[in-house]
A and B are shown apart, each in its own frame.
Chain A
C-alpha cells in the first residue's frame, strides 16, 4: 500500500484556521476505515488527535476537527495557537501519510 498524500507544510497566523488534507484511494481513505490523525512535537511521541474520521479523544481541544469527502480526509485547526506548531500525520488502517509540518507564523 502506498503512503497517503499530505502537503509537506502549511502555515497560519495565530487565531486563523488551517486545513491539512490527506488523500488516498477508494481502498483506504475512501473506504469504511475512517482516518485517524496524530500530532507530533519535535522529539516527542505522536499523540492521537482525531479518530474514526471526526471524533476527538478526551482532553483534545475542540479547535481540532476532522472530516472526509470522497478519498480525501481533512484535519482543521481553528483559532491557531503557538502550541499547535508540530507535525501532523493521518493514518488509514496501518498506512500513514507522509506528514505535514504546521508553522504558526
Chain B
C-alpha cells in the first residue's frame, strides 16, 4: 500500500523553527518528485514547495510566501521527505501535507497525500 505519514508538527512561537518529516512506503520513493501543501484553518489548499528526484538533481521550488524561510530536503536512503521551517509567522499556522507529485507530459498531479500534521505558530 502506498502511504505517506507526516510527523513533527506542534506549537511554536513566532520567529521559531520547526522540522517536519514525511515517511514514505509502498513505492520507489527515489523515483518521484515530492511536494508539501498546506491548509490554514478553514481555508483552501496552498502549495508550499517541491523537491525533484535525483535524475533532476534534487532541485527545489518554493512558493513566494515561504521562499527564503523554508527548506525542503529528502533522504532517499530513508524514504523520507523533510520541511525545515524557520522564521515562522502566525500566518504559517496550517495543516501541512506531504504528497507524491506525478507527471505525464505537461501535466502533474498529487497522489497520494499524507494525513497531515498541524503546525501552530502562536505566542
Pairwise interchain contact B106-A99, C-beta atoms closer than 8 A: no
Q: Which of B68-123 contact A (CB under 8 A)?
A: 97, 102, 104-116
Q: How many A-B residue pairs have CB under 8 A?
A: 65
* A38-B45 contact given A45-B115, A45-B116, CB 8 Å threshold: yes
- By secondary structure, the A interface counts as loop
Give residues of chain A (27-81) contacting chain B, Cβ–Cβ below 8 Å: 31-34, 36, 38, 45-48, 51-53, 57
Given A46-B113, A47-B113, CB of A52 within 8 Å of CB of B44: no
CA distance A98 to B37 in the complex (A): 14
Is B44 in contact with A48, judged by CB distance below 8 angstroms?
A: no
Determine the main DSSP class of B at the interface with A.
strand
Complex contacts, B31 vs chain A, CB 8 Å: none
Q: Kindly state the separation between the CA atoms of A94 and B37 in the bound complex, as whole angstroms.
A: 9
Tell me if A91 and B113 are in contact (CB < 8 A): no
- Scoring A38, A47, A94, A95 by chain B CB atoms within 10 A of each residue's CB, the highest score goes to A94
- List residues of chain A with CB under 8 Å of any chain B CB: 3, 31-34, 36, 38, 45-48, 51-53, 57, 89, 91, 93-99
Q: Which residues of B contact A (CB under 8 A)?
A: 35, 37, 44-47, 50, 61, 63, 97, 102, 104-116
